[in-house]
Structure 1
Amino acid sequence: MNYWQSKAYEKRVRKFMQKTLYLFASGRLRRKENTVCVETEEQVKYFPVENIRDIYVFGEVDLNKKLLEFFHQHEIILHFFDYHGHYIGSFYPREHYNSGYMVLKQAEHYLDAEKRLFLARQFVAGSLANIIQVLRYYANRGKEIAHYLEAIDEFNRSGLASCHTIEELMAIEGNARNYYYESFNVILEGCPFVIDGRSKRPPADPLNALISFGNSLVYTKMLTEIYKTHLDPRIGFLHATNFRRFTLNLDMAEIFKPILADRVLFSLVGKRMIGPNDFERHGGGVFLKEQGRRTYVEEFEAKLQSTFYHRRLKRNVSYQTCLRLELYKLEKHLIRRRSLYTLCEPLVIGRM
């Protein structure tokens, strides 16, 4: 029996087929034998634990230590969000795949200025390549965004090569994203929303609220996937490793935000699936209401499960699978098993 017929392969396939559980209603979360029981005022539901990848908690949920022990045994992360959908933290169980060797390699590449700059450049190059891919998609559908596309392409082709520090890389990415966010008004022309620059804390308008919410989902998705690898999420390369709890997920998310969060935003707003009534203003900021968040995560999960042709593997893979594959590429680069020239090469895709 070869590997493809083995139980190890079957177990790995099941891991990739696990689903995310989103909890919006308030209630209680507890263990019931080998299931996760969700109790609300309206209903009681049971979810087999082996089918759960991670859990997103938006409502007020009660749970106990016994349940957290259960989640630790089954490698399940919980991500918590506040009333307005802001990410506030995660239950990140003790790692099952700890590797002192990998931690040393991550630290080595962080402390060596040349190695860190190389990796940081790959993250930014991946981000810009996918931004360009998104813009080309809409340019091919008649959107007048050639000016923005040319400017960002110039940053990608010549700007990155001239960077000699992390700060210069961050500046290049920031300038490119300013052009990118300006293009939103052209892509979404005729829609009820406009964006006047990026604002985060708090978001100043509905589009900024959607960007922030989508980015938070990508950050936490990457954190879940990092947990399933030998990588340490505390050691990033583009974002400084300091007193912040996690940084590597922020690095990896730069690659995926354009093709996950932004594409979902364009789809929801362009198809009028989310409108003005899905937002509320509070404390000078604009936030998604619960129904808007529900609509967003449904579209977001659909995007994760959709597939594209992976040029290196020569087969279709889902975006969810690709999150993990990119982490494996980083692992191989750190331990010198494979040279990493373009971190996000498979994601520069032709079909959106």
Structure 2
Amino acid sequence: MKKLLNTLYVTTENASLRKDGENLVAEVEGVERVRVPLHMLASVAVFGAIFISPALMAACAGAGITIVMLDRNGRFQARVEGPVTGNVLLRRAQYRASERPDEIVRSIVIGKIANQRSVLMRSLRDYGPDFSEADRAALTVATERLARIIRRVELADEGLDALRGSEGEAASLYFSVFDHLIRSPDEEMRWKGRSRRPPLDPVNALLSFLYTLLTHDCRSACESVGLDPAVGFLHRDRPGRPSLALDLMEEMRPVLADRLALSLINRRQLRAKDFETRDGGSVMMSDDARKLVLTAWQERKKDERLHPFLEEKAPLGLTPYLQAQMLAGHLRGDLDAYPPWFWK
């Protein structure tokens, strides 16, 4: 089993990162704050104006450690990485499959909708006594409709456009009842619908931030097994878009991102005061809130679950790698189909 290495997140404005021997050293105003051996790192993610020494960049590139640069909102800006690796035969198989991706897309869509349904059902179980009759009724109807969409996707001989339509229908239904899952006393924390660039309320700001973190992990997973993260199946190709990473994260978003966001809100670890509204209406997290979310994200990735296909326990943080590995196995012909990941 692959070892779950660490991602170092640097959020302190004007911090500096340098190499010292075989260690990464983080300093703030000349004072050392963190020292991490390079062999323990899988990646480094920096937020905002952070200095990174050329020697550290070279060392990370040589060791296969990706450096990701994000703005203060968590929006992607750039990546620094070493030579691209990958099996050319595998990538050719990936490119051929992208021309006829229906069955891979079917698996991805089934996995995503099933996990969205599991999030709703788990919330009904966890918060059932606290829900109003209207909440319970709305969530019950949504879970039943999602089950019907799953059966339709499984059994119907749908083409690619129809599969994408079913995925969009399920997402619309799932987010239409998302507000019922939020138990915060703050009116500002209510769900009013998805807004992305920029996020216009605290919940969207939190989700967008978590989705950025998950996209980074999925992209790294694709590259680690030799796949091209830019050529996907469900998401259409677009310059600069990591389409395959976005495909891979679809099954995991409800569990790794949405459920973590709900936990932080419902446990009142995040409140309305932890978010700031900027000119133009965009909303972003405060520095302290961002650190809290990053800590919770790292802890969440350590949770172990039984992988339903491999029948082995593995940390949730390894799920992107395991799914990328199985997708590569399917493209090579080792697996008859791509097995989606189901949260149980």
Q: TM-score, normalised by structure 2?
A: 0.90
* One of 84, 98, 119 as aligned partner of 1:134: 119
Structure 2 match to 1:7: none
Question: Counterpart of 2:195 in structure 1: which amino acid?
Answer: S
* One of 143, 149, 172 as aligned partner of 1:178: 172
* Residues 40-189 of structure 1 aligned to structure 2 (within 5 Å): 40-41=28-29, 43-44=31-32, 45-95=34-84, 97-111=85-99, 113=100, 116-141=101-126, 142=128, 143=131, 144=136, 145-159=139-153, 161-162=155-156, 164-189=158-183
Structure 1 match to 2:329: 332
Give SS of 2:284's match: strand
Distance 1:19 1:126 in 2: 27
Query: Which runs of no fewer than 5 residues in structure 2 stay unpaired?
Result: none
- Displacement of 1:177 in angstroms is 1.4
Give SS of 1:140's match: helix
Cα distance, 1:341–1:23 mapped onto 2, change above 3 Å:
closer
1:174-215 deviation per Cα after TM superposition (whole angstroms, max 9, x unaligned):
221122122221111454221121111111211111111111
- Displacement of 1:297 in angstroms is 1.2
Q: Is contact 2:91-2:227 (8 Å) kept?
A: yes
Structure 1 match to 2:15: 27
Cα distance, 1:242–1:202 mapped onto 2, change above 3 Å:
closer
- Displacement of 1:34 in angstroms is 0.6
Give SS of 2:177's match: helix
Distance 2:241 2:90 in 1: 18
- Displacement of 1:63 in angstroms is 2.0
- Displacement of 1:162 in angstroms is 4.0
1:209-264 deviation per Cα after TM superposition (whole angstroms, max 9, x unaligned):
11111111110111122221111112111111232342110000101111100111
Question: Counterpart of 1:131 in structure 2: which amino acid?
Answer: Q
Question: Counterpart of 1:49 in structure 2: which amino acid?
Answer: L
1:269 partnered with 2:265? yes
* Residues 229-308 of structure 1 aligned to structure 2 (within 5 Å): 229-282=225-278, 283-308=280-305
Sequence identity percentage? 24
Distance 2:54 2:239 in 1: 27
Distance 1:306 1:139 in 2: 22
Distance 1:56 1:226 in 2: 18
Distance 1:314 1:169 in 2: 28
Distance 2:115 2:308 in 1: 15
Structure 1, 147-156 or 296-305: larger mean CA deviation: 147-156
1:208 partnered with 2:193? no
Cα distance, 1:341–1:20 mapped onto 2, change above 3 Å:
closer
Give SS of 2:19's match: strand
Q: Is contact 1:330-1:343 (8 Å) kept?
A: no
1:310 partnered with 2:293? no
Q: Is contact 1:28-1:62 (8 Å) kept?
A: yes
Query: Which runs of no fewer than 5 residues in structure 1 stay unpaired?
Result: 1-11
Cα distance, 1:136–1:336 mapped onto 2, change above 3 Å:
same
Distance 1:61 1:83 in 2: 11
Structure 1 match to 2:343: 348
Cα distance, 1:315–1:107 mapped onto 2, change above 3 Å:
closer
Structure 1, 267-276 or 64-73: larger mean CA deviation: 64-73
Give SS of 1:200's match: coil
Distance 1:312 1:124 in 2: 17
Distance 2:267 2:273 in 1: 15
Cα distance, 1:83–1:293 mapped onto 2, change above 3 Å:
same
Give SS of 1:122's match: helix
Structure 2 match to 1:9: none
Distance 1:310 1:64 in 2: 40
Q: Is contact 1:191-1:269 (8 Å) kept?
A: no
Cα distance, 1:342–1:266 mapped onto 2, change above 3 Å:
same
Q: TM-score, normalised by structure 1?
A: 0.88
- Displacement of 1:312 in angstroms is 3.6
Structure 1, 44-53 or 82-91: larger mean CA deviation: 82-91
- How many residue pairs get aligned? The number is 330
Q: Is contact 2:326-2:338 (8 Å) kept?
A: no
Question: Counterpart of 1:127 in structure 2: which amino acid?
Answer: K
Root-mean-square deviation (CA, aligned residues, Å) is 1.8
- Displacement of 1:32 in angstroms is 0.8
Structure 2 match to 1:4: none
